[in-house]
Structure 1
């Protein structure tokens, strides 16, 4: 069945409950991690690190976190360890290390050991797993009645019970604050007094929490395409929806000026609204799949996915033309419909790291009446997009999550010697530019914002200006000047080097394993 095309991806915290895991004079890595060549690439070393399931009760049991290390290409010029913080939730820090020769510049690879860990509850770190069949039953998060709302609550309760039973005690301890404690244990095992960090998208939350909890162990931290961990339900939904509309506006502007857009010379907004209207009436069949209709939510979700990178504008234009004419789009161009199962999906369980988000963000909605008010407000913010799937999907997926959660939102209180560098695209459909402004404001004198005036999610490697600024900060801790901005680079001239996070096999397209990166 159809799924999303590959997406470029992916609080007042109880800090007193987290016991510091090690002093600055930690043992060498060889004492606690048995490094062996990774199967995927023998030039990279892989290992595991035992950490507590519950950092507030270390004696209650441990599990193994998967870790990786690529040693500095020039040991004599080595500065220290550079941690790659994976996005998602659901991305892999180990995979980022494996892919780091494509992701990072030669000078960064020369000067740092590149290290990463898979966040708890993902990949090689005891992943959260759930019934594949139950995951395919996820309702589309567009409700029309209190009965729809109640069905979603019931589904979430059944899914949580299933995932908890299959995953074990770790299910209730996969929050990013606990992963920050895991990261400090990793730092101690590496024998480092301080860490250098580059986190993208959801990985920026790990960097924020670590810098807040362990400011004395921060050498230089980059938050690229940053989360804003201070937002309540309305602010979260509003800013995500604003980002979706902003990204659509940029696509329309490209169509107006570029003949490669198949809607060039047409009224693109009218064309788009016509497709949405056909979807609303149930008159937009899924090409090649008799009896399956493309819904408006599927269209909007697909648009947002393509807006992660301006290189996807032309394929998105082609998809719209195909849908309009009834031609079958390329495989994977649309999410699969709710209530269907992907062909060839046979595994009993599938990974579902979304519990991480539900333990990091408390975004309550009381009932359908309140939910409907949100939808009406979002439609005014985004007259073309109506909402963002990132505004609705996370909120709906966490409905009914029991209180309290271990890592609720709060405004950052970071006091580091070296200011944290926040980098963001002006037109980012996932971690929106207002989030970067907010995060930089919360950091105050402990932060500095670099704005990339172009498009897409993840700014690093989008042109020489951003790349050189980030590298100078990582290597020599040289900050861009206050208010620094890098010019937009035409899409054809940009190469991106971050790992895509794909949908969970056999699930509706919006229930993918990584939301933000």
Structure 2
């Protein structure tokens, strides 16, 4: 997941610089992620040689441990960061193939939670039989010394901030919100905030690989997890085993370009939703024959009404449904077409009955806010990683205003809000350490890149680009809707990936599933 206030899973997923280049900048267009030396530095020997103390945890069959990694790889002696690790051992029958590490994306998604709630029990039985299923929460995420920024009440205020300012006063309020968010992260996690980059997280994964006793890394990463996996491949190409990168990111793009592309991706997904909605009687955005463009205009008009007059949402804490929360709720449903019926019902209740509870629930699930008003650290880690990985998309409100036409062209429905959301890293207390770059990973074993043609959060061209950058990349295409493809019910996709994981044979180049 990437934008800041509105589109978490990836774009804002990159942010922060004074540049407003629309593609790779001239200074970084030729940058390549260089491989690290094949030998392990003596200064890291104690990390690579550590023994984990496994203990039962969570549901039956899972074990957890704490792994140490250097806080600063440039100065390993200055201190450690403790990382939460979990596994479920191979169940058999069949010869054990090693460990299969998984990451659900974000940045900020809990890999341990994903393993315990889905991958460790929901991956195909044949895969779980042959692999120890393993996850590590990246540094700054969930159980791994999480980045902290705001209290629950402060986050409630932040998530309701108007991201489509109508005048200078509202622009100032939005800027203030981003500054308070950044200041909170800087005050609560001043040291850790400098060491949560994707490069550092990828190096942590290599320590875990070694500690588990695997010569090579077998890995399935989704969404931002593809950037993490590709980064690992670039740093340690000779240690790549079987690697699946599903819902791929393109590491060569600037923050602005990532945000703009993702904005277009959400528009593509919304067009599919719009066509589906009007096929159902009672669609609140239009009847049979209503064009997707008109459906979008109708939704935009509803957002504008909420901007002027928020509606009740049945919230115990008194929150009402305004434009910001409603937009987030709609965006949340774009990730999976299975959520479209829920979104139709929520929009019907909000537009016809002035009941915002359904859209608020979608928004809360996106932000990982529980019924007690507590937030997981997903949004904090998301911003911390993104703002460190790339220079910001925009440095000032004036730059956003100049870019509005491009964003609104990419998405008449979401463009304005997502453009302003791209300002989030402009006020970050830590300077970025990363830059756009190519990842050839020369010498790596075959890497399987998976792209979905109407993916809202990681647009299909990103998968095409990553597969072409990787010297051993193979692209597998799912012609369909939703974010990522593996394990979402398409037998063609699932069988191709399962065969690769179990036999090491990637599908033929150009394979498409629908």
For normalisation by structure 1, the TM-score amounts to 0.81
Partner residue of 1:246 out of 252, 255, 268: 268
Q: Distance in 1 between matches of 2:370 and 2:65?
A: 33
Q: Post-superposition shift, 1:44?
A: 1.1
* 1:277 partnered with 2:277: no
Q: CA deviation at 1:145?
A: 5.0
Deviates more, 1:184-193 or 1:348-357: 348-357
Query: How far 1:417 moved relative to its partner?
Result: 3.7
Matches within 5 A, 1:291-370: 294-331=321-358, 332-333=360-361, 335=363, 344-345=372-373, 352-353=380-381, 354-370=383-399
Q: Cα gap change, 1:94/1:275 in structure 2, threshold over 3 Å: closer, same or farther?
A: closer
Does the 8 A contact of 1:86 with 1:200 survive in 2? yes
How far has the Cα of 1:425 moved from its partner?
1.3
1:457 aligns with 2:459: no
Q: 8 Å contact 1:141–1:396 — kept in the other structure?
A: no
Instruction: From 39, 43, 51, give the equivalent of 1:32.
Output: 51
Task: State whether residues 153 and 399 of structure 1, in contact with CA within 8 Å, keep that contact through their aligned partners in structure 2.
Answer: no
- State whether residues 13 and 408 of structure 1, in contact with CA within 8 Å, keep that contact through their aligned partners in structure 2: no
Could you tell me which residue of structure 2 aligns to residue 492 of structure 1?
none
Partner of 1:142: 164
Instruction: Check the 8 A contact 2:277/2:283 in 1, yes or no.
Output: yes
Counterpart residue number, 2:141: 122
Mapped contact 2:194–2:430 kept (Cα < 8 A):
no
Question: 1:17, 1:446 → 2: CA distance?
Answer: 18
Conserved in 1, the CA contact under 8 Å of 2:105 and 2:223?
yes
Q: Is residue 104–residue 221 contact of structure 2 (8 Å, CA) maintained in 1? A: yes
Verify: 1:85 aligned to 2:103, yes or no: yes
SS for the counterpart of 1:352 is helix
Instruction: For 1:8 and 1:422, locate their aligned partners in 2 and report how far apart those are by CA, in whole Å.
Output: 22
Match of 2:312 in 1: 287
Q: Equivalent of 1:180, from 202, 206, 230?
A: 202
Alpha-carbon deviation of 1:27?
A: 9.8
Q: Does residue 1:376 correspond to 2:405, yes or no?
A: yes
Distance 1:161 1:275, change over 3 A: closer
Residue number among 424, 428, 435 corresponding to 2:462 in the alignment: 435
Q: For the Cα contact (< 8 Å) 2:408–2:416, is it kept in 1?
A: yes
Secondary structure (helix, strand or coil) at the match of 1:131 reads coil
The CA RMSD measured in Å over matched residues stands at 3.4
Residue deviations 1:47-100, cap 9 Å, x none?
011111111110110121000111111275111111102311211121222232
Q: Partner of 1:491 in structure 2?
A: none
Q: Show the counterpart of 1:507.
A: none
Any idea what SS the aligned residue of 2:77 has? helix
2:62·2:87 contact (CA, 8 Å) conserved in 1?
Answer: yes
Q: Judging changes above 3 Å, is the alpha-carbon distance between structure 1 residues 62 and 261 closer, same or farther for their aligned structure 2 residues?
A: same
Structure 2, gaps ≥5 residues long? 1-6, 11-27
The answer for the alignment partner of 2:16 in structure 1 is none
Tell me, in whole angstroms, the C-alpha distance in 2 between the residues paired with 1:110 and 1:8.
34
CA shift in 2, pair 1:265/1:83, >3 Å: same
Higher alpha-carbon deviation: 86-95 or 164-173: 164-173
| Cα 1:348–1:72 shift into 2, 3 Å | closer
Offset, 1:204: 1.1
The Cα offsets for residues 118-167 of structure 1, whole Å up to 9 and x where unpaired, read as: 00001111000123144344343334456655555554444334323323
CA distance in structure 2 between the partners assigned to 1:298 and 1:107 by the alignment: 41
Q: Work out the CA distance in 1 between the residues paired with 2:189 and 2:504.
A: 41
CA contact (8 A) 1:87 1:199 kept: yes
1:458: how far off? 1.8
Contact 2:450–2:463, Cα closer than 8 Å, also in 1:
yes
Name the CA shift for 1:53/1:19 in 2 (closer, same or farther; >3 Å).
farther
1:297-336: CA deviation from partner (whole Å, max 9, x where unpaired): 4443322211111111222222222222124254444547
Q: 2:61 matched to 1:43?
A: yes
Pairwise CA distance, 1:289: 6.4
Describe the shift of the 1:271–1:197 C-alpha distance in structure 2 as closer, same or farther (beyond 3 A): closer
Number of the residue aligned with 2:277: 255
**TM-score, normalised by the number of residues in structure 2:** 0.82
In the alignment, is residue 418 of structure 1 matched against residue 445 of structure 2? yes
**Structure 1 pair 313–388 and aligned structure 2 pair: CA distance change class (3 A):** farther
Whether the aligned pair in 2 keeps the contact of 1:284 and 1:293 (CA below 8 Å) is no
Matches of 1:8 and 1:368, distance apart in 2: 20
Counterparts of 1:402 and 1:33, CA distance in 2: 35
Q: 1:350 to 1:452 in 2, by over 3 A?
A: closer
Q: 1:272 offset after TM fit, Å?
A: 4.5
1:425–1:451 Cα contact (<8 Å) kept? yes
Q: Distance in 2 between matches of 1:426 and 1:170?
A: 37
1:101: Cα distance to partner? 3.9
Figure out how many residues of one structure are paired with residues of the other and give that number. 472
Q: What SS does structure 1 have at the residue aligned with 2:391?
A: coil
